[in-house]
């Protein structure tokens, strides 16, 4: 088999890149480990930046998003029993959209189907070779048959546990990582959201968040031990903990049937550079952020847009400039978002503070610093404007 761009991984980064390339007349093949149904059903992120929405609209993926997605003009920050609204709209005239990652994937799959270029699902034994040559190759198996896919480029958009990043030799990359001592328990429930805008809450017992997917489906998260077993969390226990951590006087959290629940550990990760020879990494395969800033999906979309520009330049006039700039350009964005995501995470989660050195005063010191931090933030329009600028999204396609 031959193509122009071989794309390993059919998540948002891979499927969007393939879509953008097709619109520019560049041929690509997406290889996906999982089957179609699994890929559609996988529940993940839900917030799209302003620029990501504009991009999706420009490339013909905005129709259902405009119909079923929800525009959000701000978020709520809750601490010390008080709920504070941060209006992105009033502060900087921007908004974000709540539209599930699953829905973005569905729209992409539909566009590929309509164009007759669906991904190859349920592939296995994927191997990337010859990436320092002009004809890199991806070996894979599908339906018991072995294939060799040759292209001008290979894109590794195969997520955090993919095979592409490990093919870059250790001496040609540097990796950075930070683990957090907690994870998120996430649920989807058949119940009308109890809030119009998202609530991010720092509570003495830990972080909680109220998000949503539609007028009938709520998405909620709880900070938990990353090693905890989901079997320890009955539906009653989850609702009771959400009631405690999200509750304020005069407000009730509606309960409903939970139809999806899972625990995800949290960490930050970056692999630099995002290119080796003819292999380019995009999305989670190169960088992970903790979900508090709602950025993982948006970074994957930005990478696809950057890489599409670089590849289009090369196919149009043979220019290597865009390809050379891809990794530094993406990483500049990534490190700014690493900062934002870690800032939001540290501000809003409860860290276990033991009585270090036997001093009982050490307990709860950081928690009270965080309360002070949130108080400073919510009493300053300038500070809130900064949050609003980054939350709604750094400019998507400028080259700074």
Q: Count of CB atoms within 10 A of residue 67's CB?
A: 7
In DSSP terms, 202 is beta-bridged to 79, 207
**How far apart are alpha carbons 233 and 105 in whole angstroms?**
29
Choice among 200, 221, 306, 315 that is catalytic: 200
Preceding amide of 68 cis, omega within 30: no
CA dihedral 273, 275, 276, 278 (to 10 degrees): -170
Contact between 208 and ligand FAD per CB under 6 A:
no
Which residue stretch of 39-47, 116-124, 125-133, 262-270 sits at the interface with ligand DHB (rule: CB under 6 A)?
A: 39-47
Contact between 18 and ligand FAD per CB under 6 A:
no
Rounded to the nearest 5 degrees, what angle is found at the Cα of 178, between the Cα atoms of 173 and 183?
130
Contact between 291 and ligand DHB per CB under 6 A:
yes
Residue at token pair 């289009």: 312
Which of 6, 7, 9, 322 is close enough to bind ligand FAD by CB under 6 A? 9
Which of 22, 34, 89, 173 is close enough to bind ligand FAD by CB under 6 A? 34
Choice among 72, 112, 203, 349 that is catalytic: 72
Which of 10, 11, 14, 46 is close enough to bind ligand DHB by CB under 6 A? 46
Contact between 126 and ligand FAD per CB under 6 A:
yes
176 noted as active-site residue: no
Give the residue nearest to ligand DHB (CB). 46
Contact between 283 and ligand FAD per CB under 6 A:
yes
Each residue 78-117 as x (binds ligand FAD by CB under 6 A) or -, in order, gives: -----------------------x----------------
Contact between 14 and ligand FAD per CB under 6 A:
yes
Which of 15, 157, 211, 312 is close enough to bind ligand DHB by CB under 6 A? 211
**How far apart are alpha carbons 33 and 362 in whole angstroms?**
48
Which of 36, 44, 106, 173 is close enough to bind ligand FAD by CB under 6 A? 44
Question: By C-beta, is 9 or 291 nearer to ligand DHB?
Answer: 291
Question: By C-beta, is 210 or 278 nearer to ligand DHB?
Answer: 210
Choice among 203, 287, 295, 349 that is catalytic: 295
Which residue stretch of 117-125, 127-135, 232-240, 291-299 sits at the interface with ligand DHB (rule: CB under 6 A)?
A: 291-299
Q: Count of CB atoms within 10 A of residue 311's CB?
A: 25
**How far apart are alpha carbons 342 and 268 in whole angstroms?**
8
Contact between 77 and ligand DHB per CB under 6 A:
no
200 noted as active-site residue: yes
Positive or negative CA dihedral for 174, 343, 186, 109?
negative
Contact between 393 and ligand DHB per CB under 6 A:
no
Question: Which 3-22 residues touch ligand DHB, going by CB under 6 A?
Answer: none
Which of 112, 203, 219, 329 is close enough to bind ligand DHB by CB under 6 A? 219
Question: By C-beta, is 219 or 333 nearer to ligand DHB?
Answer: 219
**How far apart are alpha carbons 185 and 14 in whole angstroms?**
27
**How far apart are alpha carbons 113 and 40 in whole angstroms?**
14
Choice among 203, 210, 291, 306 that is catalytic: 291
Contact 291, 303 (CB under 8 A): no
173 noted as active-site residue: no
Contact 326, 277 (CB under 8 A): no
Q: How far is the CB of 337 from ligand DHB (least distance, A)?
A: 12
Binding site for ligand FAD (CB under 6 A): 8-14, 31-34, 39, 44-45, 101, 123, 126, 157-159, 162-163, 264, 283-284, 291, 294-297, 300
Active site residues: 72, 200, 291, 295, 391
């Amino acid at each position: 088999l031959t193509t122009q761009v071989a794309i390993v991984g059919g998540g948002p980064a891979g499927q969007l890149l393939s879509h953008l390339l097709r619109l520019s007349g560049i041929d690509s093949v997406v290889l996906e480990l999982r089957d179609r149904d699994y890929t559609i059903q996988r529940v993940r992120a839900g917030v799209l930046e302003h620029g990501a929405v504009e991009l999706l609209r420009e490339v013909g993926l905005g129709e259902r998003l405009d119909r079923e997605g929800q525009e959000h003009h701000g978020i709520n920050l809750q601490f010390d029993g008080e709920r504070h609204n941060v209006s992105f709209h009033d502060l900087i005239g921007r908004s974000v959209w709540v539209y599930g990652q699953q829905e973005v994937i569905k729209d992409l799959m539909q566009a590929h189907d309509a164009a007759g270029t669906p991904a190859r699902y349920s592939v296995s034994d994927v191997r990337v070779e010859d990436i320092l040559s002009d004809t890199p190759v991806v070996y894979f198996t599908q339906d018991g048959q072995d294939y060799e896919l040759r292209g001008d480029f290979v894109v590794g958009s195969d997520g955090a546990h993919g095979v592409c990043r490990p093919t870059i030799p250790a001496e040609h990359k540097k990796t950075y990582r930070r683990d957090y001592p907690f994870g998120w328990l996430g649920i989807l429930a058949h119940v009308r959201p109890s809030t119009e805008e998202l609530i991010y809450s720092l509570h003495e017992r830990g972080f909680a968040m109220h998000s949503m997917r539609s007028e009938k489906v709520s998405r909620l998260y709880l900070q938990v031990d990353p090693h905890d077993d989901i079997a320890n969390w009955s539906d009653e226990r989850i609702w009771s903990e959400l009631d405690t951590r999200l509750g304020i006087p005069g407000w009730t959290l509606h309960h409903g049937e939970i139809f999806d629940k899972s625990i995800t550990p949290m960490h930050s990760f970056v692999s630099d550079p995002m290119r080796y020879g003819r292999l380019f990494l995009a999305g989670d395969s190169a960088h992970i952020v903790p979900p508090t800033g709602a950025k993982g999906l948006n970074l994957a979309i930005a990478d696809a847009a950057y890489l599409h520009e670089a590849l289009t330049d090369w196919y149009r006039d043979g220019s290597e400039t865009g390809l050379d700039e891809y990794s530094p350009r993406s990483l500049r964005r990534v490190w700014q978002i690493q900062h934002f995501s870690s800032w939001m995470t540290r501000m809003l989660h409860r860290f276990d503070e033991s009585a270090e050195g036997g001093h009982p005063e050490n307990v709860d010191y950081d928690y009270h610093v965080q309360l002070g931090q949130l108080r400073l933030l919510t009493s300053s329009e300038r500070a809130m404007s900064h949050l609003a600028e980054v939350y709604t999204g750094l400019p998507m396609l400028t080259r700074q």
